[in-house]
Amino acid sequence: MAEITSLPSIGKLTVGTNDYLLVANSSTKKARKLQAQSLFSTLTTVGTSSEQLYVSVTNRNQINFKGLKSGDTGLLTVATTDNNLVLTVLEAGIDLSLCNNATSGFLSSVPLGRATGKLAVNKGGTGLSSILKGSILYSNAADTITTTTLTTDGQLLIGNATLGYPTTGTIASSDGTINITNSAGGIDLSVVSSSKLVSTLDAHRYNINLNAAASTNFLSGDGTNEGITVDTSGRVFAGDTTPTVPTLAAGLTVGGSESVALELGNINHYGDRTIKFANSGSGVAGMEGKILGATPAGGNVAGGAVQVEGGAGAGTGTGGNLVLHGGNPDSGTGGAIQLKTYTAKNTSATAMTIAASGAIRNFGATTMGTSLAVTGTSTFTGAITTNGGIQPAAPVVQAEGSLTLTKASNAGRTTILPDISDNRTFTMPDPAAAGEYYHLVYFATGAGADGHNLIINGVNNDNTTGFYGAVVHHDTNETGQTSTIVYGSTTDDTITLASGKAFDLHFLATSTTQYYIWGWSAGDTAITIA
């Protein structure tokens, strides 16, 4: 075995994977080999995205480390102390103006406690070195902040348009209507009196409280207890001359000493005026309005009368009419006028009605001291007692010729037909309602018949208006039966008296399409109804 001194040398740079060292175990006396390359160091930087502390490894076992150096020795120093690397941050070298505070927020406040001198106004300060107790800051004429003290009770800093900056002052009442009491830290204002308003009182959206719970108070014309007062429930009393306000039971009560309690109209804007009840909503019937006379509280005394009177005429002018109107219809029937009485306590009875058509119906006994003239249709369901007699309307004396009768001219009256000189036709109107009445009389001059026909037709002679009933005919020629009864049916609308001498005929409507007829006729030829 060759001695080690005789073996050739190998550099560490040329050591390969097949180069080994002999290793002997002193205990086991066994020899083993060690790969020579495993003795050289291998360096790895385990940090992520970090800088290496070394530069390289040379000669297989030489490590080259980087040095530590401060980029700004005014902010950071590097030194070795006791084999330690010491990094020192120099606070004095930090310039915050060069730092970005947008996201870090490390400047949340500025400690002015260590500041010296006066902080100027444009830097957010007052420009003052001290502020006395009780001082108030304001900007003066020099556009700088100054102070003033309020040392008097009730003193205030008040705007001054003349100077352009506030001055100290106190609240005052020029007319003495406001009592002002100043105290330490307080101002008390109370109304002493107010004789007048110097401008319009605008309550805006607030109320004026008359405080009726405390006592009766008035909106007065002269400051006394007169005018308008409102109770705690909102009921209103209007009166004069220091009235004794009654217990209010209506929305509006008018009292006082004046004989005329309510007057409508303004002579400067004169025109018709209406007192009406409030309209109802759609589909709701209008409320029933009522005007009531006064009722005594007790005793055997009469209730108060209610008078409705038209205005008096002046000079030769007529007095005003009293007009009572039923309700105005839309497409239905107009309202009627009713006159009612009490026959007993709480028992009401209708005495008379006036229908929308103008027809009058009387429900009780009617007593007339002189006379009654009726030109329209009137129905009396009770007895009529007269002292002067009932005077019917004047008859209609018809001129010679054919005639069309009308309700306005002929209804309820006697129509006298003259001696005819030729055939004549008289036309009856269609009845407007049941109860419509006509009376026709006729006579020929001389003892003999005229030899002409007298005809009575319904409207249009189309069988729409029928004549039914019975007429007694007297045969003036005395041939055969001297008297006979001629009948009419509901479909007959033509009455003919040929060569007639006289008749007295009555027509009473039983409907709008039928007349009931009765009476008599005289002539050589019997009357016909067909």
Express as a percent the part of the chain with pLDDT over 70. 90
**Are residues 430 and 457 in contact, defined by beta-carbon separation less than 8 angstroms?**
no
Mean pLDDT of 171-182: 87
More confident residue, 64 or 111: 64
Instruction: Show Cβ contacts of residue 367 under 8 Å, excluding neighbours closer than 6 positions.
Output: 384, 385, 386, 387
The sign of the CA dihedral 76, 77, 80, 81 is negative
Q: Report residue 10 CA to chain centroid gap.
A: 117
**467 CB burial (10 A radius; 0-12, 13-18, 19+):** buried
What is the per-residue burial (b if ≥16 Cβ within 10 Å, else e) of 484-504? eebebeeebbbbbbbbbbbbb
pLDDT at 458: 85
CB burial string 173-184: b at 16+ within 10 A, e below? eeeeeeeeeeee
453, 426 contact by CB (below 8 A): no
Within 13 A of 188's CA, how many CA atoms are on the CB side?
Answer: 6
Residue 516 backbone dihedrals phi, psi, to 5 degrees: -90, 130
pLDDT above 70 (res 106) = no
Residues 6 or more apart whose CB falls under 8 angstroms from that of 106 comprise 99
Q: Quick one: pLDDT band at residue 386, thresholds 50, 70, 90?
A: low
How high does pLDDT run on average in the chain? 85
DSSP 408: H
Nearest to 462 by CA among 425, 432, 494, 497: 494
Distance of CA 404 to CAs 139, 408, 430, 440, 511, Å?
A: 105, 12, 11, 13, 20
Long-range contacts of 220-228, Cβ-Cβ distance < 8 Å, separation of 24 or more:
226/256
pLDDT of residue 300: 93
- Quote the tokens at residue 324: 């009572």
pLDDT tops 50 at residue 448:
no
Across residues 289-299, what is the average pLDDT? 88
Sequence-separated contacts (24+) of 372-375 with Cβ below 8 Å: 374/412, 375/412, 375/413
Nearest to 325 by CA among 361, 276, 365: 276
Q: Per residue in 483-526, pLDDT tens? A: 899 998 888 889 998 888 899 999 999 999 999 999 999 888 88
Q: What is the pLDDT of residue 82?
A: 93
